[in-house]
Amino acid sequence: MLPVVEEKTICATFERAQARHGMNEYTHSMLNKIHEENRPLLESLCVILDGFKLDEKATGRALTMMGLMYDCLNTQGETDELHEMFGEGENDDA
């Protein structure tokens, strides 16, 4: 089951992406990560995206959003695992 991503995780993930990379570089690195970890997902999403017949700029934005979503889901999953391991409650601020 996918984790429910908290707003603070989304903000932190986006800020981290902006601070460490240009968006094009971030998108490229995330697509490589998805390709390594879940190739069928990436390939399927790219086929579907191609069906929308978007221009290059819109396709780039869509790919960036796919990378951000994947990153947020993974980050929240890791955060949830840490909370479970260390017995932190849901009301604790991380």
pTM for this predicted structure: 0.84
Say which amino acid occupies 79. Answer: T
Mean pLDDT for each 10-residue chunk of the chain (94 residues)?
95 90 91 98 97 97 96 96 81 51
- Domain range list for the chain: 7-80
Dist CA 23 CA 20 (whole Å) = 9
d(CA 88, CA 76) in angstroms, rounded, equals 14
Query: In which region does residue 92 sit, left (phi positive, over 0), alpha (psi from -120 to 50) or beta (all else)?
Result: beta
The three-class DSSP label of residue 38 is: coil
Looking at residue 94, what is its pLDDT? 47
* Cα–Cα dist 77/44, whole Å: 22
